[in-house]
Amino acid sequence: MNNIEHTVYVNELSPVNSLRFSQAFLAVFKRDIQVAIQSPMQLLEPVFFMLLIAILFPLALGHEQQLLATLAGGIVWVCVILASLLSMERLFKDDFQDGTLEQLLLTPQPLPLLVFAKVCAHWLLMIVPILLISPLLALLLHLPLASYTILLVTLLLGTPSIIFIGAVGAALTVSLKKGGILLGLLNIPLFVPILIFATSALRAVGADAPYQSQLCFLGMILTGCMTFAPLMIGYSLKVSLS
């Protein structure tokens, strides 16, 4: 973001301009989308990373279609988690470096609302490429057609939770120069329940067993993350910048 755009953005959220909550949300959301579009390579890095990981699995496991089809759902989800970690460190880092983050903390708008907007923008920028590339991954890994729809459902339910949880870690490590490794150590254990329920639903589809309970658990995790994660992110940012 250049200096003029930064000034306009900060002025929109300044105390002089008492925005409604919806206007403040949209201001942050639109700004993050615009900034990301200006750096398309940063958007494509997780996609290429996912492709490379997905290509490694058939090379390591062989080309047995039945084996790959059985493991395809888990492979896709591991690729998603690793790719999300790749982009998670930048969630607040750029704003921290140019001073925007400190300005957000000084605005009269609720900080949880503003970070909620940033997380939503980051999720949208992450999930769209994943959904576009998922048919190629499904073809590469011989994912059964019956499981493909449920894979998309688990991605839509599980990836927002991953971003919310990861954003807490990103907020805690935003002031560290090399916080990427620590971010992974903090977040990966917390991603395990999401991975378990998502892959369990995909296995249930392959075995013609009920899978609705796993989707319900993913929905419950998402509800909890949407409720409590913005508060935790806001508090973590204040601690990191204090």
Q: pLDDT tens, 118-138?
A: 999 999 988 888 888 888 888
Q: Tens digit of pLDDT for each residue in 56-70?
A: 888 888 778 888 888
Q: What is the mean pLDDT of the chain?
A: 84
Average pLDDT over residues 161-171: 93
What pLDDT, on a 0 to 100 scale, did the predictor assign at position 3? 46
Cα four-point dihedral sign 149, 54, 69, 196: negative
Q: Tens digit of pLDDT for each residue in 79-99?
A: 899 888 888 888 888 888 888
pLDDT band, residue 19 (cuts 50/70/90): low
What pLDDT, on a 0 to 100 scale, did the predictor assign at position 43? 79
What pLDDT, on a 0 to 100 scale, did the predictor assign at position 155? 93
Q: Which 8-state DSSP code applies to residue 63?
A: S
pLDDT at position 180 over 90: no
Q: Which 8-state DSSP code applies to residue 114?
A: H
What is the residue range of 63's domain? 3-241
Q: How many CB atoms lie within 10 A of CB 225?
A: 21
The CB-side HSE value for 105 (13 A sphere, CA atoms) comes to 18
- This model's pTM is above 0.85: yes
pLDDT band, residue 15 (cuts 50/70/90): very low
pLDDT at position 161 over 60: yes
What pLDDT, on a 0 to 100 scale, did the predictor assign at position 13? 55
pLDDT band, residue 225 (cuts 50/70/90): very high
Assigned token pair, 227: 């409720």
Q: Please count the structural domains in the chain.
A: 1
Helices (H), 62-109: 65-88, 90-98, 100-106
Which of 7-11, 52-56, 138-142, 195-199 has the largest mean confidence?
195-199
Angle at 46 between CA 43 and CA 48, to 5 degrees: 105
